Amino acid sequence: MPTDTPVISCKNVWKIFGKDPRGYLDSMQPGTSFDDMRAAGYIAGVKDVSIDVHRGEMLVIMGLSGSGKSTLVRCFSRLHDITGGTIDVEGQDIMSLPEKELIDLRRSKMGMVFQSFGLLPHRTVLENVAFPLEMRGQDRHTRRERALEVVKLVGLEGREEYFPRELSGGQQQRVGIARSLAIEPDIWFLDEPFSALDPLIRKEMQDEFLRLQQMLNKSIVFITHDFDEALRLADRIAIMKDGAVEQCDTPDRIVLNPATEYVRKFTEDIDKARVIHAGALATTDNKGEGAPVDAKATVHDMARMLVSDARDTIPVQRDGQIIGALARKAALDVLLGDDK
């Protein structure tokens, strides 16, 4: 479960593309809109974003293309230099790191998976996976051993000697995942890892990914443009538009209380009963009576009980402790899709 010390903490981060981004940012009036900046010849890739990634959590950054989600994640690893604000990774301000330490940080702490895989075409599966290890100077024997281990972990045993072009898309992405895991990173970035795959393969890879995450329990920043995927995977979701974070919260709360009209539009077609948990509906002002429900149960899980039960408020427990109670009517509203 997430703890409270952030792995990545960013404050008022700006990333502006254009001729003289820093000068422009310094002279910019507060409240300048995305379109104003564009008229001045600048594109706001990331616009005043403050967000934390907690240890062991999976933060999903969701947005349509051009919303700045990929740019933001590249700022986290300093593939892009930010224009304003600060980003701390494990307590270090990464913008002040010299080249060498930045490389060390990437060699020891970070792994990244790319949308179009980013595999090196002239290297075999094994050589691709061992690449980060080779770069940090590990000897041939240990890196081969570790690479074999990770290749096995992602289920590509027997294909170690293949070249990327001899593999299917799904298999190629498994190589990408294996490579990003080879150095046992603490922070794992995944930039739309499954977008380039067929729907069936995508589902399979998501399951595979959840399995890996349960085994490895890393801090993850996952980028997607697919809201369903975000709901399926996320501990928290940050929804981005025009470079800014519109809302950052747990899936339940985003679905229950969309902060803006833009976010609400995404939630419209979602089967909310399958997303919202009892815990999210519980209020502490009332304890309720009778048999409690588990905080992790979705409204959909409780459907039969909600319809047949007669209580107005039902207690909710987490780890054996009563944490509050939910109003049965509110839960029924969610189930039946009655937006107030």
Residues of this chain that bind another protein (CB under 8 A)? 74, 77, 79, 103-104, 106-108, 110-112, 114-124, 131-132, 134-136, 160-163, 165-166, 176, 179-180, 183, 189
Shortest separation between residue 130's beta carbon and another protein, angstroms: 10
DSSP 239-275: EEETTEEEEEE-HHHHHHS-SSHHHHHHHHTS-GGGT
Which of 154/306 has CB closer to another protein? 154
* Bridge partners (DSSP) listed for residue 61: 223, 238
**Nearest Cα to 278, choosing from 234, 235, 323?**
323
CB of 213 to another protein, least distance (A): 19
Q: With respect to another protein, which residue has the nearer C-beta, 77 or 267?
A: 77
Residue pair 61/222 in contact (Cβ under 8 Å)? The answer is yes
Say if residues 295 and 323 touch (Cβ distance below 8 Å).
yes
The owner of tokens 């595999």 is 119
Two structure tokens written together for 337:
């899709």
Please, what is the minimum distance in Å from the beta carbon of residue 107 to another protein? 3
CB-based contacts of 283: which residues, under 8 Å, 6+ apart?
A: 324, 325, 326, 327
Taking the complex as a whole, how short is the minimal distance between the CB of residue 38 and another protein, in angstroms?
Answer: 12
> Given the complex with another protein, which of 189 and 227 has the nearer CB atom?
189
Q: Could you tell me the smallest distance in angstroms from the CB atom of residue 59 to another protein? A: 18
Cβ nearer to another protein, comparing 11 with 123 = 123
Residue number, 74 or 202, with CB nearest to another protein: 74
